[in-house]
Amino acid sequence: MAIADASPVKTTCPYCGVGCGVLAKADAGGVVEVRGDPDHPANFGRLCSKGSALAETTGLDGRLLYPEIDGRRAPWDEALDLVAGRFSETVRIHGPDSVALYVSGQLLTEDYYVANKLMKGFIGSANIDTNSRLCMASSVAGHRRAFGADTVPGTYADLEQADLIVLVGSNLAWCHPVLYQRIAAAREKRPDMRVVVIDPRRTMTADSADLHLPVRADGDVALFAGLLAYLADQGALDAAYIERHTTGFDAALAAARAFGRMEIANRTGIRPADLDRFYRLFAQTPKVVTVYSQGVNQSAAGTDKVNAIINCHLATGRIGKPGAGPFSVTGQPNAMGGREVGGMANMLAAHMELGNPLHRERVQRFWKAPAIADKPGLKAVDLFRAVADGRVKALWIMATNPVDSMPDADQVRAALADCPFVVVSDVLAATDTGHYADVRLPAAAWGEKDGTVTNSERRISRQRPFLPLPGEARPDWWIVAEVARRMGFRSAFSYAGPAAIFAEHAALSAYDNNGARDFDIGAHAAIGTAEYDALTPFQWPAPAARETKTAQQAKAPGDIRFFAGGGFFTPDRKARFIAIAAQAETWPQDASALILNTGRVRDHWHTMTRTGKSPRLSQHLAEPFVEIHPHDAARHGIGDADIVRVATPRGAILVRALVTRRQAPGSIFVPIHWTDQFASNARVGVLVAPATDPHSGQPALKHSRATVTRFPAQ
Ligand code: SF4
């Protein structure tokens, strides 16, 4: 029996961080229809191939419909009691840091909030991290270094108003297609608009650019250091903005100049004439937006790359103005919502800091919590290391598949196999991670869930149900709250529904800070159940911010950008330039080794647990592959469509060769999606070393050393 037979519900696409509005309905027979919501300000009715195929992915094939303990069906009460009991016992014997949660950017904000509250306020450990660590942690760290808080200054409309868009490490055409479509539509109306793509690969996005700069892997810091020096040399700085609203410019410029022209040319691999063309374009175009995503974030220098970009925008005062600003685009549908409620190991809810005792006191007081984590928890890669070496003895994984998606994936698999107690709550019965669970808990899927998500431009939208919960599936927030109540925290986790959770989150956001900080992001006003049910997409800061105490902090209705007039979230309210020194080159010493880059394809999502259900989506690229330049293919005796063994010191996979000049010589590309469920020996995660950015902890998923050989060898 479907919930809505006639009129569609307004909900939000569960894939990428564009956060498109979807109209969805199911008929009495459960047949689902979806189309773009013409009223949603992210997409105005558009959907990409993945969003359009959502109806093909809502079937119950492969669903986990009942709780399971050691593979046998169990009642909810028994499963919840077991999880609560084992977590409580582990904490009692080994301490709060012996347990951990690993969650997901697929969770709704309400799910994230409750999980974060349980770990940080009631168990008393910050060992909760998220697969968003793999997606945008470097942008978070870069924002916090420069702005004092994790705040995206601009909006999608800025991309349409800009005269120059710089896309860095971002294949928007495939990975954020509706945003790309909005840019394409704007370019048709404004032919003078320019697009520069900075990417080692000639992607579909690069095809449509006015200028493609095929930067060497991790050459971005040098590229933007060169730009900062150029802006200074050409007198293209905004001296008044630098003086009034920033600190640290001189040191940042000195560090940028230290690279030198030759060093920049070597590190970027870009012809000086093309670099000059880009630098000139940037210097001469006041309305410029620089968009960056995984090619910037997924690097051992990811945070430095983010700050190298932000430095150039601060130096020109091009931030928070219509058509101007640095713009991080998130990969996942609710990476931003998770950040807002502190769903990472180094954050507290409502943009507060774990390292600040006043913030900790404020959150603990609001939650009436028995404890509060007093130090950052383990970030994703370290968290699984701690599982492997026995420091973490009970782990709960929600809505993600780390056995396939984490770097050093075979070590993650081995760690789960040895972990004394593993809980997996998921939609599907047979993910590669679920195989290692002692307890499997059936979670509600998209179309059944009820809550909110936040997209890349800080826009909060509702996900609404239009299908009944199948079997005994339950929402993630409910599962976490039930476990918390059985651990003895009854009153703090007695929620009537997601509206009550969002209201609590909003209240914490606006809670009396009692001197905890001299500013308040104040993201949300109080909200009742009826308002929550009727909620239309809005960007924070929402009304609560307009009620903050000083005129400078107040945001007028429609004033949806940050920082044009300063007002950063640092103690002196000034942005910080970051002086970024050149790091040692990490290119392969072995002449036969190639740089392995990993990433997404157009029609699949993560480990294909949802898109793999759609025959239409599988037609685009039907099998796992390695893209390789013709020169490298010839050097290694590889022909187009051959089977290739790609190997690193961590492991090896077998994939089809796709010989193409889209790939730069000396590098290869393998998509992240295929797992053992869809192809044998194609999990790219087994190849990737667990190297991370020192500031963000984000893994360097785009820079491993690999060798290729034709298989079978001849
Ligand atoms: Fe969904 Fe992203 Fe496509 Fe929009 S662009 S329909 S949010 S996958």
Whole-number Å distance, alpha carbon 448 to ligand 1 midpoint, is 19
Task: Decide if pLDDT at 109 tops 70.
Answer: yes
128 has pLDDT over 60 = yes
Question: Could you tell me if the CB of 18 is within 6 A of ligand 1?
Answer: yes
Residue among 11, 50, 455, 617 whose CB has most ligand 1 atoms within 8 A, to mutate: 50
Q: Is pLDDT of 460 > 70? A: yes
Among 12, 18, 174, which is best to mutate for testing ligand 1, by the most ligand atoms less than 8 A from CB? 18
CA distance 532 to 36: 22
Question: Domains plus CATH for the chain?
Answer: 9-57 (2.20.25.90), 68-135+335-509+520-533 (3.40.50.740), 141-328 (3.40.228.10), 594-711 (2.40.40.20)
The predicted structure's pLDDT at residue 677 = 80
- At 539, the pLDDT band (50, 70, 90 cuts) reads confident
Q: In angstroms, what is the span from residue 49 Cα to ligand 1's centroid?
A: 8
CA of 309 to the centre of ligand 1 (A): 26
- What's the pLDDT score for residue 2? 44
Q: How far, in Å, are 213, 311, 343, 350, 626 from residue 263 at the CA level?
A: 16, 19, 39, 42, 30
Strand order, beta sheet including 325-328: 211-213, 194-198, 164-168, 288-292, 325-328
314's tokens:
């601060």
Q: What is the pLDDT of residue 369?
A: 97
ipTM above 0.90?
yes
- Dmax over Cα atoms in the chain, in whole Å? 74
What are the angstrom distances between the C-alpha of 412 and each of 213, 223, 431? Answer: 36, 35, 14
Expressed in angstroms and rounded, the spacing between residue 47 Cα and the centre of ligand 1 is: 6
**Residue 515 neighbours by CB distance under 10 Å:** 9
Atom of ligand 1 nearest to the CA of 333: 7
pLDDT confidence of residue 512: 59
Q: What are the pLDDT digits (tens) for 26-49? A: 998 889 999 999 999 999 999 999
| For residues 681-696, average pLDDT | 94
**Beta carbons of 161 and 346 less than 8 angstroms apart:** no
Residue 85: pLDDT above 70? yes
> Is the CB of 350 inside a 6 Å radius of any atom of ligand 1?
no
What are the angstrom distances between the C-alpha of 265 and each of 5, 195, 213, 388? 61, 22, 12, 42
Mean pLDDT of 614-634: 93
Ligand 1 probe mutation, 12, 22, 44, 47, most atoms within 8 A of CB: 47
**How much distance in Å is there from the Cα of 158 to the middle of ligand 1?**
19
**DSSP 8-class letter at 589:** S
Tokens of 19: 């956060």
For residue 610, is pLDDT > 90?
no
Radius of gyration of the CA atoms of the chain, in A: 24
Q: How much is the pLDDT for 95?
A: 98
Q: State yes or no: pLDDT of 188 exceeds 70.
A: yes
Q: Does 47 contact ligand 1 (Cβ within 6 A)?
A: yes
* 20, 456, 620: residue to mutate for ligand 1 pocket, most atoms within 8 A of CB: 20
With pLDDT > 70 as the criterion, what percentage of the chain qualifies?
93
Q: Give the mean model confidence (pLDDT) for residues 173-202.
A: 97
Taking CA atoms, 31 is separated from 26, 54, 56, 615, 691, in Å, by 5, 12, 9, 17, 45
Predicted confidence at residue 540, as pLDDT, reads 80
CB of residue 148 inside a 6 A radius of ligand 1: no
Do 180 and 293 contact (CB within 8 A), yes or no?
A: no
Q: Is the distance from the beta carbon of residue 178 to the nearest atom of ligand 1 less than 6 Å? A: yes
| Residue 545: pLDDT band with limits 50, 70, 90 | very low
Reported as a pLDDT band with limits 50, 70 and 90, residue 335 is: confident
* 153 CB within 6 A, ligand 1: no
Identify the bridge partners of residue 710 per DSSP, sorted by sequence position: 644
* 34 C-beta closer than 6 A to ligand 1: no
Mean pLDDT, residues 84-101 taken together = 98
Distance between Cα 286 and ligand 1 center (Å): 30
pLDDT computed for residue 554 by the predictor: 41
- What are the tens digits of pLDDT across the range 64-76? 999 999 999 999 9
Q: Which pLDDT score, from 0 to 100, does residue 465 have? A: 97
- Using one digit for the tens of pLDDT, what is the confidence trace for 245-270? 999 999 999 999 999 999 999 999 99
Buried b (16+ CB within 10 A) or exposed e, 347-360: bbbbbbbbeeeebb
Task: Summarize the confidence of residues 572-580 as an average pLDDT.
Answer: 97
Burial class of residue 73 in the structure, from the number of CB atoms within 10 Å of its CB (0-12 exposed, 13-18 middle, 19+ buried): exposed
pLDDT at position 436:
97
Averaged pLDDT of the chain: 92
**What's the Cα-to-Cα distance from 702 to each of 39, 206, 396, rounded to whole Å?**
37, 18, 28
Residue 562 in this model has a pLDDT that exceeds 80: yes
* pLDDT for the residue numbered 509: 81
Q: What are phi and psi of 216, to 5 degrees?
A: -65, 155
CB of 175 closer than 6 angstroms to any ligand 1 atom: no
What pLDDT is recorded for position 542? 63
Higher-pLDDT residue of 711 and 326 is: 326
Nearest CA owner, ligand 1 atom 3: 48
The alpha carbon of 605 and the centre of ligand 1 are apart by a number of angstroms equal to: 11
What percent of the chain has pLDDT above 90?
A: 80
Residue 176 beta carbon below 6 angstroms from any ligand 1 atom: yes
CA distance 511 to 493: 19
User: pTM here?
Assistant: 0.94
List all residues 6 or more positions away from 229 whose beta carbon is below 8 Å from its beta carbon: 253, 256, 257, 259
The pLDDT assigned to 590 comes to 65
Which pLDDT score is estimated for 587?
Answer: 54
Q: Is the CB of 684 under 6 A from ligand 1?
A: no
φ, ψ dihedrals at 194, nearest 5°: -115, 145
- The finding on whether 50 has its CB within 6 A of some atom of ligand 1 is yes
Quick one: which H or E segment has residue 289?
A: strand 288-292
> Is 519's pLDDT higher than 60?
no
Give yes or no for residue 4 having a pLDDT over 80: no
| Three-point CA angle 433, 449, 471, nearest 5° | 70
Q: What is the pLDDT of residues 409-445, one digit of tens each?
A: 999 999 999 999 999 999 999 899 999 999 999 999 9
Looking at residue 546, its pLDDT comes to 38
- Partners of 166 in the β-ladder: 196, 290
